[in-house]
Amino acid sequence: MSYKCIKIEGEYYYGKHLMMTAVGCNEALMDIPTMKQFLVSLSDDIGMVRFGDPIVERFGEGEQTGLSGVQLITTSAITFHTNDQYRDFYLDVFSCKWFESSLVAEVVRTLFNPANITISDVLRQ
């Protein structure tokens, strides 16, 4: 199928979906301007074309309080949710253009210094 652009071992996929959980991050995770810049920088670092400006807002109450953010890219979107109290970070990168998960992890480690990162990659049929 012509709209499936990622080819791995002879099989075509629509896109790659990275799901990351990073726990015990530093205070940068709680700053709206920092998180907007993170979305811009990550998009550029992994070779995506940004569409519009990133949106980052704080939602919730008590221990549910955190940021949600989105950066549209021409090949899909980068989204995240955080938890202020525990400084946990949940990131999704979905694109029909290939990107390196290790580069995403490197960017997150450098900026947020998490205690632990777990990543799941899914190739979307």
> Domain boundaries in the chain?
13-124
DSSP state of 62: G
Amino acid (1-letter code) at residue 91:
L
Residue ranges of the alpha helices (H) in the chain?
A: 32-45, 101-112
Short-list 27, 85, 80, CA closest to 55: 80
Task: Render pLDDT for 87-102 as a digit per residue (tens, 0 to 9).
Answer: 999 999 999 999 999 9
Task: Render pLDDT for 39-80 as a digit per residue (tens, 0 to 9).
Answer: 999 999 999 999 999 999 999 999 999 999 999 999 999 999
Q: How far is residue 73's CA from residue 43's CA, in Å, rounded to a whole number?
A: 8
| pTM of structure | 0.95
Class of domain 13-124: alpha beta
DSSP state of 50: B
